[in-house]
Structure 1
Amino acid sequence: MTQTSLRESIDSRPMSRYQWFVVALATALMGLDGYDVQAMAFTANPVSADLGLTGTELGLLLSGGLIGMALGAIWVGPFADRFGRRRMLVIAMIINAAGLFLSATASSMPELMAWRVITGLGVGGILTSGTVLVSEYSNAKYRGLCMSIYAAGYPVGATLGGLAAIPLIGNFGWQAVFLLGGAVTVLAVIFVWLKMPESLDFLGARASGPQASSDGSEQRRAEEIAARMGITGPVTLEREDPSDTGTPGRSKNSYAALFSPENRSRTLLLWAMFFIVMFGFYFANTWTPQLLTEVGFSTDEGIMGGIMLMIGGTIGAVLFGVFASRWDVRRVQAVFAICSGAMFIVFISATAWLPAALVAGVLLGMIINGCISGIYTIAPMTYAPRLRSTGVGVALGVGRTGAIIAPIAVGALLDLGATPTVLYIGAGIIVAMAAVVVLRISLHQRTASELRANPVAARD
């Protein structure tokens, strides 16, 4: 019987229940990340009142988790490529839970800032490993949809966090928001350790490298996972061509490989796209509750505006995946970026009347979260398997610099007298620029089945 590469089998077969389970589990983790990151946004007003914060100090706190996310994403990539994506996912979740529990104990701005950075370290590691696992366990036809479902977990978690924040803060104080997040993350660590499989492409890369086990354990683990997916018959782990990174003889999980002749252009373009989209996304999601109070809404109404962004985001993330399963993912991303830029302006123009602002918030959330689905879909497709976690992790880290700059810049500009209208128009212009960048990114051609599913990419 002819042996088939396991990667070829996954790409060409319909999605099994087990594959959808992996997508669902990773999506739940993305929901926890959404809760963790937005916890600071939804507690902004009580924390500011309790700790006596200025706008600039609040901006720094809103960016604290994002700083940690950038460092965590960059740090975890090479370790995940070397030691396993599942193992690093569990470690990152433990760090995340610790940061949340410690945040509830903070009594000063510097102390809370430190714990938010720790929380972000864990979140960055979770995002890196989770993104790669979902991409690898999806088939070629539905990879874009699966990545969009995964990205939709963020607004769902953030929405639930916003709904929970109002009664938690009212009854127990802002600290309860962080305690709840930590408790749920601990439960998730146990479940992931028991149920999440290892990356098949990691097993293949390890089996073909100097760290391969002498007893063939990588092959056995792959066969066990294949059986869960209903793949029968002889299967082989996909072995890599030494030229995949364009740097023969160089360690393929090194940061330097991102700038090999083959990867340099796609790396820089991917970084630019991540920076721009993350800037707009975190501007909208971290400051909207506070900025709505600046134009006359109450604190609860401001939180509700933030929730509307998250509700729209859930719809938009999945909608992006539906479009990406029919058309080239880069063109879909370009359209979403242009529409996002326009919706920033529409949203702030609608704030004279609360119902109009809430409707516009849903639409803005739909489109900007679609852009997030796009970057999560495109990033794993940009690099060869052995370099994938490193490439995705560094791109996430670079993107987080845009996310970090956005809240700090808004806080400083508010202190200088800038109006919410000016801030939203500026953010809209920046986000629209992503359309130009994404159309120039070339994708790594991994398998024949994937090329058949994406003929536009095959011509690049």
Structure 2
Amino acid sequence: MDIRQTINTTPMSAYQWFIVFIAVLLNALDGFDVLAMSFTANSVSEEFGLTGSQLGMLLSSALFGMTAGSLIFGPLGDRFGRKNALMVALLFNVAGLFLSSTAQSAGQLGMWRLLTGVGIGGILACITVVISEFANNKNRGMAISIYAAGYGIGASIGGLGAAQLIPVFGWRSVFLAGAIATAIATVVTFFFLPESVDWLSTRRPARAEERINIIARRLGKQGTFALAGEQTAAAQKAGARSYSVLLSKENRSTSFTLWAVFFIVMFGFYFANTWTPRLLVETGMSEQQGIIGGLMLSMGGAFGSLLYGFLTTKFNMRTTLMTFMVLSGATLILFISSASVPSIAFAAGVVVGMLINGCVAGLYTMSPQVYTADVRTTGVGTAIGVGRVGAILAPLLVGNLLDAGWSPEQLYIGVAIIVIAGATTLIGLRTKVESGVEKHNAEPANLAAK
């Protein structure tokens, strides 16, 4: 029997949903980390005397690390195993968060934020693929959307926690709390997350078939599962040149499209999530109201991811993502235009958070499905890395434009136009399921098993 075909076509067991829970936990760490830095920005700026552009550089330091981490750990996941690469990335993350809590200068904090980002980038590259591979065809969109909702959950907890911790213990306590939470998540992942069966099938390490059958029992799948012999040579060849495969004739158009849409969505996403508290204060709100405005985006984010997942069970995932991008741009404009009336702005903020997080859920849902298993982590990691370039540019560009005299209204409208225009990049993008490649690839394995 073919394990991939079995996972795709049989109901998801309780253990498979538990794997989704682990992924939610790990993604929540990303949300906690990003918004914790955003909410400590004022305290850090006051202590170190930072300008807007200097703060923008500090906000971007973790994003530089995320870019590097995604690009580094993607190929490592394809070569040495998704779980093995993930565990190393988690250790990087714990170390970076702990050291951030000891920083005595902006330079030190930037360095440790860079290290933290390397870990987070690796985590996202690996766990996004793992969750896709352990979900069945029917629930894959919903599973990844639940996973993506973890960002909003973590961001909300991070924001609420920061608001309580900073006045009493100072901004460093926020990063220490993150280090403790990540250490706990690392232990849970080590003991309960299995290795990817797709990686075991394509790379064939020692005892690969035995390990697949052990995992299958844990997943509640009945039968004996064999490896398809003809997959090995091709998988090893692709694993040695995974980056070049992304730009092969077969994958070139897909890669460029995926990179473009990741860049645009992450640009808009990180602009909204890192600068909203500060920009709302610029419009005349109090610092507390600015924090509340940022929290509204985070709280809406979890619902938006789930909404996207639900809609993918009814509609095409690509069309749904395009719709979310257009509506995200429109509501960004509504959000900042209503800043003079906080109640309306906060309500609009929830909608912005729902839609922009739904866009991220859409990217995470589609990206693992546009590449074959032998280069899947590299493909997803590279797309996330390119997206992080957009995430890096957002805080940097906004900081400089703010220093140059741009108003919050001008900044939000500019980003909104970019996000709306970016929806057109999705035209023509197809997953392996839509193109029939996945079905075709599964047939030789089924015949071999017979």
**Shared topology, TM-score over 0.5?**
yes
Shift in Å at residue 438 of structure 1?
1.3
1:24 alignment partner AA: F
1:224 alignment partner AA: I
Quick check: 23-32 or 296-305, which moved more?
Answer: 296-305
Seen in structure 2, the aligned counterparts of structure 1 residues 257 and 430 have a Cα distance that, compared at 3 Å, is same
1:269 alignment partner AA: T
Q: For 2:61, which of 64, 77, 88 is the aligned residue? A: 64
Shift in Å at residue 238 of structure 1?
5.7
Alpha-carbon distance in 2 for matches of 1:419, 1:235: 61
Query: Which residue in the other structure is 1:13 paired with?
Result: 10
SS in 1 for 2:136: coil
**Are 2:428 and 1:440 aligned?**
yes
**Are 2:312 and 1:324 aligned?**
yes
Q: For 1:236, which of 226, 235, 242 is the aligned residue? A: 226
SS in 2 for 1:433: helix
**Are 2:75 and 1:78 aligned?**
yes
Q: Is the 8 A contact 1:11 1:450 kept in 2?
A: no
1:90-114, CA deviations, whole angstroms, 9 ceiling, x for partnerless residues?
1111100111111111122211111
Seen in structure 2, the aligned counterparts of structure 1 residues 124 and 68 have a Cα distance that, compared at 3 Å, is same
Q: Is the 8 A contact 1:204 1:239 kept in 2?
A: no
Structure (1 or 2) with the greater helix fraction: 2
SS in 2 for 1:165: helix
Query: Which residue in the other structure is 1:141 paired with?
Result: 138
Alpha-carbon distance in 2 for matches of 1:160, 1:244: 45
1:354 alignment partner AA: P
Alpha-carbon distance in 2 for matches of 1:119, 1:385: 28
Shift in Å at residue 32 of structure 1?
1.0
Query: Which residue in the other structure is 2:34 paired with?
Result: 37
1:207-241, CA deviations, whole angstroms, 9 ceiling, x for partnerless residues?
2xxxx43xxx1111111111111111122346675
Q: Is the 8 A contact 1:70 1:401 kept in 2?
A: yes
Q: For 1:395, which of 355, 373, 383 is the aligned residue? A: 383
Alpha-carbon distance in 1 for matches of 2:106, 2:273: 21
Query: Which residue in the other structure is 2:445 paired with?
Result: none
Query: Which residue in the other structure is 1:457 paired with?
Result: none
Shift in Å at residue 253 of structure 1?
5.0
Q: Is the 8 A contact 2:238 2:374 kept in 1?
A: no
Shift in Å at residue 194 of structure 1?
0.7
2:277 alignment partner AA: P
Q: For 2:208, which of 218, 223, 240 is the aligned residue? A: 218
Shift in Å at residue 443 of structure 1?
1.6
1:307 alignment partner AA: L
Query: Which residue in the other structure is 2:107 paired with?
Result: 110
Query: Which residue in the other structure is 1:277 paired with?
Result: 265
**Are 2:193 and 1:196 aligned?**
yes
1:60-114, CA deviations, whole angstroms, 9 ceiling, x for partnerless residues?
1111111100000000011111111111111111100111111111122211111
Shift in Å at residue 55 of structure 1?
0.1
Structural mapping, 1:21-32, within 5 Å: 21-32=18-29
Seen in structure 2, the aligned counterparts of structure 1 residues 399 and 233 have a Cα distance that, compared at 3 Å, is same
1:318-373, CA deviations, whole angstroms, 9 ceiling, x for partnerless residues?
00001112211111111111101101101101101111111000000000000000
1:448 alignment partner AA: K
Shift in Å at residue 296 of structure 1?
1.2
1:31-53, CA deviations, whole angstroms, 9 ceiling, x for partnerless residues?
01111122110101111001100
Query: Which residue in the other structure is 2:98 paired with?
Result: 101
Q: Is the 8 A contact 1:205 1:240 kept in 2?
A: no
Alpha-carbon distance in 2 for matches of 1:284, 1:415: 18
Query: Which residue in the other structure is 1:455 paired with?
Result: none
Alpha-carbon distance in 2 for matches of 1:221, 1:284: 43
Shift in Å at residue 433 of structure 1?
2.0
Alpha-carbon distance in 2 for matches of 1:347, 1:430: 16
Seen in structure 2, the aligned counterparts of structure 1 residues 350 and 449 have a Cα distance that, compared at 3 Å, is farther
Structural mapping, 1:53-452, within 5 Å: 53-207=50-204, 212-213=205-206, 217-237=207-227, 251=239, 254-445=242-433, 446-448=437-439
Alpha-carbon distance in 2 for matches of 1:114, 1:324: 40
Alpha-carbon distance in 2 for matches of 1:19, 1:251: 27
Shift in Å at residue 440 of structure 1?
2.0
Seen in structure 2, the aligned counterparts of structure 1 residues 17 and 302 have a Cα distance that, compared at 3 Å, is same
2:84 alignment partner AA: R
1:46 alignment partner AA: S
Q: CA RMSD in A?
A: 1.7
Q: Which runs of 5+ in 2 are unaligned?
A: 443-450
Alpha-carbon distance in 2 for matches of 1:30, 1:384: 24
Alpha-carbon distance in 1 for matches of 2:120, 2:233: 32
Quick check: 260-269 or 248-257, which moved more?
Answer: 248-257
Shift in Å at residue 303 of structure 1?
1.0
Alpha-carbon distance in 2 for matches of 1:250, 1:360: 47
Query: Which residue in the other structure is 1:454 paired with?
Result: none
SS in 1 for 2:432: coil
Q: Is the 8 A contact 2:238 2:375 kept in 1?
A: no
Alpha-carbon distance in 2 for matches of 1:239, 1:137: 22
Alpha-carbon distance in 2 for matches of 1:262, 1:244: 15
Seen in structure 2, the aligned counterparts of structure 1 residues 447 and 238 have a Cα distance that, compared at 3 Å, is farther
Q: Is the 8 A contact 2:79 2:239 kept in 1?
A: no
Seen in structure 2, the aligned counterparts of structure 1 residues 300 and 238 have a Cα distance that, compared at 3 Å, is farther
Shift in Å at residue 442 of structure 1?
2.2
Q: Is the 8 A contact 1:345 1:428 kept in 2?
A: yes
Percent identical among aligned pairs is 48
Seen in structure 2, the aligned counterparts of structure 1 residues 355 and 250 have a Cα distance that, compared at 3 Å, is closer
Shift in Å at residue 439 of structure 1?
2.2
